[in-house]
């Protein structure tokens, strides 16, 4: 199954969120990571202008969000639910590391629907809510300041799911830079070195009788930069201009 299809089977469930801004932040965090399905269990305020504002461009995630009367409704049809809990609980489901849980979620997503369940900003998840989940994850944050903002917790999990779904190498935005030209070939680079050596010799900078490490050092410098065709043309243009001034032709 394609990574995007796996991520399509993940739903994010927010239990009793009290700040609409966090709902918007969660929607944005989800969409940034290619996750679209949001369920809200008895949100205090929704829809809300603050949620829209914090969602930035993720208004489609908000518009499609399902508002549910209880967690059972939000989890209906799913086969695996992982609870996010800021602190371990006695009566909660089995603890997992973030990455273990992500592995289980993605494996289960190949078969069916899965859910990530987040708690209320002040009280977290209730025991009742926790007991409806199969595993519990605590993000290993600073023990002296361990509770993340709800939207931030959603972001961490959605990022890990994306990394997991794409086996560590998600597609990036087109890396092409506007100035890029094709890489220079071996012969173009050797032509440049020969040109450079000639000019350095003519100007007296390089003495064949005492070569030192100049040429290998220059090769190492240019080798590191993976020269492009345009760059070779610029460098050779500079050399040609220098030669003309020193009366050696081009």
- Taking CB under 6 A as the criterion, the residue among 125, 158, 161, 196 binding ligand SAH is 125
Q: Which of 48, 73, 104, 121 binds ligand SAH (CB under 6 A)?
A: 121
Smallest distance from the beta carbon of 157 to ligand SAH, in angstroms? Answer: 8
Q: Which is nearer to ligand SAH, 117 or 165 (CB)?
A: 117
Alpha-carbon span 155 to 150, nearest angstrom = 9
Segment (H or E) for 82: strand 78-84
Do 221 and 180 contact (CB within 8 A), yes or no?
A: no
148 binds ligand SAH, rule: CB under 6 A: yes
User: Is 118 an interacting residue with respect to ligand SAH (CB under 6 A)?
Assistant: yes
Q: Residues 6 or more apart from 32 whose CB is under 8 A from it?
A: 58, 155, 158
Quick check: 87 binds ligand SAH (CB under 6 A)?
yes
Q: Which residues of 185-216 are buried (b: 16+ CB within 10 A; e: fewer)?
A: eeebbeebeebbbebbeeeeebeeeeeeeeee
Beta bridge partners of 96: 137
For ligand SAH (CB under 6 A), the number of binding residues is 19
Output 135 or 218, the one with its CB closest to ligand SAH: 135
Q: Which residues bind ligand SAH (CB under 6 A)?
A: 84-87, 118-119, 121-122, 124-125, 137-139, 141, 146-148, 150, 153
């Amino acid at each position: 199954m394609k990574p995007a299809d796996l991520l399509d089977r993940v739903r994010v469930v927010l239990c009793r969120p009290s700040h609409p801004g966090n709902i918007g932040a969660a929607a944005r965090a989800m969409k940034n990571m290619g996750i679209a399905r949001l369920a809200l269990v008895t949100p205090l305020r929704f829809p809300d202008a603050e949620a829209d504002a914090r969602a930035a461009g993720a208004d489609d995630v908000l518009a499609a969000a399902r508002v549910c009367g209880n967690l059972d409704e939000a989890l209906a049809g799913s086969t695996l639910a992982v609870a996010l809990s800021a602190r371990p609980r006695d009566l909660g489901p089995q603890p997992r590391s973030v990455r273990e849980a992500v592995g289980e979620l993605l494996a289960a997503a190949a078969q069916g629907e899965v859910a990530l369940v987040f708690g209320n900003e002040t009280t977290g998840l209730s025991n009742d809510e926790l007991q409806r989940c199969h595993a519990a994850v605590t993000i290993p944050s600073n023990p002296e300041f361990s509770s993340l903002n709800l939207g931030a917790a959603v972001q961490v999990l959605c990022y890990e799911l994306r990394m997991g779904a794409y086996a560590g190498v998600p597609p990036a935005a087109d890396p092409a830079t506007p100035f890029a030209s094709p890489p220079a070939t071996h012969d173009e680079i050797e032509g440049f070195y020969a040109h450079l050596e000639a000019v350095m010799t003519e100007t007296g900078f390089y003495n064949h009788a005492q070569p030192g490490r100049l040429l290998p050092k220059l090769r190492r410098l240019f080798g590191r930069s993976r020269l492009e065709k345009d760059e070779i043309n610029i460098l050779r243009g500079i050399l040609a201009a220098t030669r003309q001034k020193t009366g050696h032709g081009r």
